[in-house]
């Protein structure tokens, strides 16, 4: 019997090392995420998900302050690129970084989001841009013509016309966007509320076999929890015909729900959120992914969210793993900082948009921020290039890892410094220079499943 148990443990370890697929719900256990907006961008083999971020230990959604971007190639192993836009970097906003969506048009990635405006508490629909799908994103103001723009969603049709959908408190609106995305075209604005049964908030649009599917959150008699409904139309602005519920009550559901529907590698998926990972605490939600399918008449088959998630349609049951990839050049934009050093891109082979070098003075440093759901262990890796064998320090919150060896490498390479402990919430990792001649590409944290 002992031999069988040992053999099974060995097989399991080999399967994980070999990259076999595993799946579970919540799909990501490293961080509290909500409102997932999933996309497949042209030319990319990755699935990209844009999410809001719940703070661990909170009892209110007012503490939501930033957004994250995730990617995957197998629906099981996830990369979290850290904070990509924070309230503090939005000049007009005060708080409440709630639901988001994204779109790609003419090589620019657009992020739409909602935050409360300074001074009056009105929810505005903000707009930010990036050259990269993973961000970070830079705010360029809020979209004109949208009153109380909560829960925004973008849809770009085949003719490249962009549409904005928004709604809250029992209403839903839609309109065409201007070419620069900065305003709606007023004469195209449509009140979709009368067409959508018990609509409350959270619109999102996808296309299937030439039809437009508007998914939204239903709240009967204004009582929680929200169920997920959908409606279908022949045109982006309707009229829409409600088809009913596709995600109802389930074990671990939160008071809210919000999600998206996407096709990836010839399979359809429904993204949404729950609260089971947080011990049924509705202010600390978790991203869920379930398999989705259609009937022959185009209606969506109702989904009962499963603890095994996408294993329902092919992946093997087991733990998912998140890698937190923090690009050094994004330090300041992603909650960290760069002191003394400089951003560069002359040396080829880096990841992201560049790297940090010119550590010319003692204690020059670059700091990155990693947010996690609970006290947990991660394997620390650093991408770098160095002209000589060197030793440097890395500060993990208040623990100093001293005299870490960085062997000479003319090309960018990755070195593993073993397992470190991260605390619940925000963690700061600081690379501190002790000698010159090093280039820091990224700091990577790989979730350790215990």
Which fold would CATH assign to domain 328-447? Jelly Rolls (2.60.120)
Mapping DSSP to helix (H, G, I), strand (E, B) and coil, where does residue 12 land?
Answer: helix
User: Which DSSP state fits 193?
Assistant: G
User: Which DSSP state fits 189?
Assistant: -
What integer pLDDT is reported at residue 20 of this predicted model?
41
Delimiting residues of CATH 2.115.10.20 domain(s) in the chain? 23-319
CA distances from 269 to 47, 261, 290, 305 (A): 11, 6, 6, 11
What integer pLDDT is reported at residue 11 of this predicted model?
39
What integer pLDDT is reported at residue 2 of this predicted model?
42
CA-CA distance, 29 to 300, in Å (whole number)? Answer: 28
Active site residue 218: no
What integer pLDDT is reported at residue 4 of this predicted model?
38
DSSP H or E segment with residue 339: strand 337-339
Spatial contact of 164 and 195, defined as CB atoms under 8 Å apart:
no
What integer pLDDT is reported at residue 446 of this predicted model?
98
Looking at 24-106, which runs of residues are DSSP E strands? Answer: 33-39, 47-53, 66-72, 77-86, 93-95, 100-105
Delimiting residues of CATH 2.60.120.260 domain(s) in the chain? 328-447
Q: Which of 101, 201, 283, 357 is catalytic?
A: 201
Q: Which of 35, 74, 327, 357 is catalytic?
A: 35
Measure CA of the first residue to CA of the last residue in the chain; give whole Å: 24
CA-CA distance, 272 to 154, in Å (whole number)? Answer: 17
CA-CA distance, 320 to 21, in Å (whole number)? Answer: 8
CATH class label, 23-319: mainly beta
> Which residues does residue 380 pair with via DSSP β-bridges, in sequence order?
445
Mapping DSSP to helix (H, G, I), strand (E, B) and coil, where does residue 90 land?
Answer: coil
Span 283-335, pLDDT tens digits? 999 999 999 999 999 999 999 999 999 999 987 777 899 999 999 999 999 99
Nearest in space to 249 (alpha carbons), one of 306, 308, 312, 304: 304
CA-CA distance, 128 to 41, in Å (whole number)? Answer: 17
User: Under 8 Å CB-to-CB from 361, ≥6 apart: which residues?
Assistant: 340, 433
DSSP H or E segment with residue 15: helix 2-17
DSSP assignment of 354-367 equals -EEE---STT-EEE
CA-CA distance, 179 to 182, in Å (whole number)? Answer: 8
What integer pLDDT is reported at residue 221 of this predicted model?
74
CA-CA distance, 268 to 203, in Å (whole number)? Answer: 18
> Which residues does residue 247 pair with via DSSP β-bridges, in sequence order?
228, 303
* pLDDT average per 10 residues of sequence, the chain (450 residues): 39 38 87 98 96 96 97 95 98 97 97 97 96 97 93 97 94 97 98 96 97 94 91 98 96 95 97 93 96 98 95 84 98 95 96 96 96 98 97 98 98 98 98 95 96
What integer pLDDT is reported at residue 18 of this predicted model?
36
Spatial contact of 417 and 378, defined as CB atoms under 8 Å apart:
no
Round the CA-based radius of gyration of the chain to a whole number and report it: 23
Active site residue 35: yes
Spatial contact of 223 and 212, defined as CB atoms under 8 Å apart:
no
Spatial contact of 94 and 116, defined as CB atoms under 8 Å apart:
yes
What integer pLDDT is reported at residue 295 of this predicted model?
98
- Give the CA diameter of the chain: 74
Question: In this structure, what token pair is assigned to residue 316?
Answer: 């093997």
User: Under 8 Å CB-to-CB from 87, ≥6 apart: which residues?
Assistant: 65, 66, 93, 94, 95, 97, 115
What integer pLDDT is reported at residue 220 of this predicted model?
79
Does pTM top 0.85 for this prediction? yes
């Amino acid at each position: 019997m002992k031999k069988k148990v040992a053999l099974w443990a060995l097989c399991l370890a080999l399967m994980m090392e070999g990259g076999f697929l595993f799946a579970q719900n919540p799909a990501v256990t490293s961080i509290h995420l909500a409102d997932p907006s999933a996309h497949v961008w042209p030319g990319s083999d990755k699935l990209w998900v844009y999410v809001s971020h719940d703070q661990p230990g909170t009892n209110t959604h007012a503490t939501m302050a930033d957004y994250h971007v995730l990617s995957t190639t197998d629906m099981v192993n996830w990369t979290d690129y850290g904070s990509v836009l924070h309230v503090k970097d939005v000049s007009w906003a005060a708080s409440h970084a709630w639901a988001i969506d994204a779109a790609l048009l003419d090589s620019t990635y657009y992020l739409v989001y909602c935050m409360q405006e300074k001074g009056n508490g009105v929810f505005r629909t903000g707009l930010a841009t990036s050259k990269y799908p993973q961000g970070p994103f830079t705010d360029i103001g809020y979209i004109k013509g949208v009153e109380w723009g909560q829960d925004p969603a973008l849809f770009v049709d085949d003719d490249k016309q962009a549409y904005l959908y928004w709604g809250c408190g029992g209403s839903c609106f839609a309109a065409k966007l201007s070419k620069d995305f900065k305003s709606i075209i007023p004469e195209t604005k449509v009140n979709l509320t009368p067409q959508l049964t018990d609509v409350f908030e959270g619109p999102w649009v996808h296309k299937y076999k030439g039809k437009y599917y508007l998914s939204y959150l239903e709240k009967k008699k204004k009582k929680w929890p929200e169920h997920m409904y959908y409606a279908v139309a022949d045109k982006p602005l309707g009229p829409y015909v409600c088809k009913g519920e596709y995600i109802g009550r389930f074990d671990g559901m939160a008071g809210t729900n919000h999600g998206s529907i996407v096709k990836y590698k010839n399979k359809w998926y429904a993204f949404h959120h729950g609260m089971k990972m947080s011990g049924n605490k509705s202010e600390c939600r978790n991203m869920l992914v379930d398999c989705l399918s259609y009937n022959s008449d185009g209606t969506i088959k109702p989904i009962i969210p499963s603890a095994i998630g996408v294993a329902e349609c092919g992946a093997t049951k087991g733990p998912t793993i998140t890698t937190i990839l923090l690009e050094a050049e994004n330090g300041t934009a992603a909650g960290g900082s760069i002191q003394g050093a400089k951003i560069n891109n002359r040396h080829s082979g880096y990841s992201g948009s560049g790297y940090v070098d010119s550590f010319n003075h003692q204690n020059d440093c670059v700091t990155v921020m990693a947010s996690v759901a609970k006290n947990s262990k991660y394997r620390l890796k650093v991408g770098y290039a160095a002209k000589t064998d060197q030793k440097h320090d890395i500060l993990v919150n208040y623990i100093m890892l001293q005299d870490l060896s960085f062997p000479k490498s003319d090309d960018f390479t990755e070195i593993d410094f073993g397992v470190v402990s991260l605390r619940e919430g925000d963690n700061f990792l600081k690379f501190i220079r002790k000698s010159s001649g090093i280039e820091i590409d990224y700091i990577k944290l790989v979730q350790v499943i215990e």
